Amino acid sequence: MSFTGRVAIITGAASGMGLLSAQELAKAGAKVLLTDVDAEAVEAAAAGIRKDGGEALGLQVDVRKYDEVKRAADMALQKFGRIDILLNFAGGAETRVCNCHKPFHELPVDVIDWGLDVNLKGAVYFCHAVMGAMIKQKSGVMINLGSVTGVEGSAGAVNYSAAKSGIIGLTKSLALCGAPHGVRACCVSPGPVLTRPGMANMKTRLGRAAEPKEVVDLILYLCSDKAAFITGSNYMIDGGRTCGGMD
């Protein structure tokens, strides 16, 4: 799959699957704008891609702040002239990220707000910021990261599950808005992925967690011309976890 001449914006790109996606897209010829709330890490990630011969920029962005999101979209247009791909990776379970492991009814409101703002509103903001450019150029694809918890629910991560369910609805609605203009939207919902040690303990039918590249390979396929007739769908990549019967 070649992405020569394509321009991609990746959120949460300083580490994990966001960084790996940026690296793989750059290797395949894309110009990439990496965004992350960690300014030092995202610039280092972009510098690493440039060192390997790719074309990359790093930009600090807090996805909860629309002015920063809009600045990223404007930078991509100014530096590269177009926006072909948006990958919304930024997110995380608020109980883990905020280190607040309490039952849902005992969670502080600021923890609830963080989870909804980062996991759902951030994706809404970025899709809003790039869609006009995609409609104008009559092409583009937005990939939103869902989660297995958005389908099966989670007593321990109520907010996260709700936000990821919302991502599925967002994707379907974006697909409807974009279809008359050649703009696609897809959701990828992973089960456990080996981006951190704790994921290895989550059960799947295949008896293991996914390697990050297995998820990224699916995402790159959906971004490519090979997937030109795919839009509005949610793709489970969960080792059969949502087939049911997992204790």
Rg of the Cα atoms in the chain: 17
Those residues with Cβ within 8 angstroms of residue 179's Cβ, 6 or more apart along the chain or in another chain: 231, 232
- 33 burial via Cβ count (<10 Å: 0-12, 13-18, 19+): buried
Q: How far apart are CA 191 and CA 132, in angstroms?
A: 32
Catalytic sites, residue numbers = 160
Q: How far apart are CA 120 and CA 209, in angstroms?
A: 24
Angstrom CA distances, 67 to 60, 63, 123, 126, stand at 12, 9, 14, 10
Query: 44-64 burial by CB neighbour count: b if 16+ within 10 A, else e?
Result: ebbebbeeeebbbbbbbbbbb
Strand 55-60 and strand 31-36: the pairing is parallel
Q: How far apart are CA 115 and CA 141, in angstroms?
A: 25
Structure tokens belonging to residue 144: 């939103």
Those residues with Cβ within 8 angstroms of residue 141's Cβ, 6 or more apart along the chain or in another chain: 84, 85, 86, 183, 184, 185, 186, 222, 223, 227
